[in-house]
Amino acid sequence: MAVATRSVQRTRWIKLQVFRYITFAAAAVFFLVPIGAMLEFSTRGNTGERTLAYWQSIFSYPDLIDFNFGPAPDAAINASLELALITSVVMLVLLVPTMVWVRLKLPHLSRLVEFICLLPLTIPAIVLVVGLFPMYIWLGTNLSDSILTLAFAYVVLVLPYCYRALDAGLGGIDVKTLSEAARSLGASWFAVMWRVIVPNISNAILNATLLSVALVLGEYTIANNLLYNNLQVELVHLGRANAGVSIAVAVASLLFAFLLLVLLAFIGGRPRRARPEAATALAGPLAASQT
């Protein structure tokens, strides 16, 4: 009887393993074949020879990349990277304290905040552009016409994804008790956020940041329609003039996102282990009792 049960369990386990490998292989093929094809295309010359000319020439396009990182970047990659940074920072500064405050003091507003944050998901980017256009005309006339002003629109665009990631992180800890414990120990609200909440939702913050960076690096519609030149807009322009370089940059941006993911896995995935016991010299008679 027991042998038969074990046999059935083993058969199920094998089936499950086979299913896992097939699913993994299918997903890998789905993602890797187009990237492989892009890599292949971007490393072939006009006569079919293997060459890195397209990759090397990326730096010869001043509209694509230069070394001017500042408040008014000229090159598309610089602009997109700066936008990704600004969007991520503004999103975190705006969203984390708001979400914590709503959980602590205004829980009855949580549904409303969720609704507002998820709203951009339901509005197509092109409709957003129609609404944003007059605002950007005013911004360009009265404040600044820098491409970095796109960060305002991008913060709205990334809200739904970042809200979900942060909400999952905050749901994993007892925000109220931890905050009250910290307050009773003398922590200011800033210290509560910075020393207690943020370290405990670091994975969620990394996830939200990654999502926001990926979204900003891949954004085309808003930038193009508001007549700004970010990475994706420049890629389309470049694709018309030099498809090889355009594809090389696209592969590079994909690799950049992949690197971010790997970093996330390494930084966020570290398990907590007890530190060496030798660090503390004092030991009590009841220390080992498991009460």
Partner 1 sequence: MTERSGVEVRLENLVRRYGAVTALDGLSLTLAPGELVALLGPSGCGKTTALRLLAGLEEADEGRIVVAGKDVTGLPANRRNIGMVFQAYSLFPHMVAWENVAFGLQMRRVGTAERKKRALETLELVGLGRLANRYANQLSGGQQQRVALARALAIRPQVLLLDEPLSALDAKVRARLRDEIRRIQLEVGITTLFVTHDQEEALAIADRVGVMQAGKLEQLGSPVMVYSRPATPFVADFVGLTNRIKGIVRGGAIDIRGASIPLVDPTSADGPAVALIRPEAVTLTSDGAMEAGPLVGTVIAVAFLGATSRVTVDLGDTTVLAQVATSAASQNPAGSKVRLTLRPDPVLIQREEAAPTAS
Query: Which residues form the interface with partner 1 (CB under 8 A)?
Result: 173-174, 177-178, 180-188, 191, 195-196, 199-200, 272-277, 279-291
Nearer to partner 1, 40 or 180 (CB): 180
Q: Which is nearer to partner 1, 183 or 237 (CB)?
A: 183
Nearer of residues 240 and 273 to partner 1, judged by Cβ: 273
What is the nearest approach in angstroms of partner 1 to the Cβ of residue 274?
5
Q: How far is the CB of 176 from partner 1 (least distance, A)?
A: 9
Please state, in angstroms and rounded to a whole number, the distance separating the CA atoms of residues 62 and 51: 22
Which residues, other chains included, contact 163 with Cβ-Cβ below 8 Å and sequence gap of 6+? 95, 99, 114, 117, 118
Least distance from C-beta 231 to partner 1, angstroms? 36
First to last CA, the chain: 42
- What CA–CA distance (Å, rounded) separates 110 from 93? 18
Buried b (16+ CB within 10 A) or exposed e, 74-109: ebbbbbbbbbbbbbbebbbeebbebbbbbbeeeeee
Q: How far is the CB of 182 from partner 1 (least distance, A)?
A: 7
Residue whose CB is less far from partner 1, 29 or 181: 181
Compute CA distances 196 → 176, 180, 182, 189, 269, whole Å: 11, 11, 7, 10, 19
- CA-to-CA distance for 180 and 160, rounded, in angstroms? 28
**For residue 97, what are the contacts with CB-CB under 8 A and spacing of at least 6?**
193
CB of 181 to partner 1, least distance (A): 4
- Nearest residue (CB) to partner 1, 168 versus 215: 168
Q: Based on CB atoms, which residue is closest to partner 1, 107 or 131? A: 107
Integer-rounded Cα Rg, in Å, for the chain is: 25
Q: Which residues contact 91 (CB under 8 A, 6 or more apart)?
A: 155, 158, 159, 162, 208, 212
The nearest distance, CB 109 to partner 1, in angstroms, is 16
Beta carbon of residue 271, minimum distance to partner 1 (angstroms, whole number): 10
Give whichever of 200 and 225 is closer to partner 1, judged by the CB atom. Answer: 200
* Cα 11 to chain centroid, rounded: 40
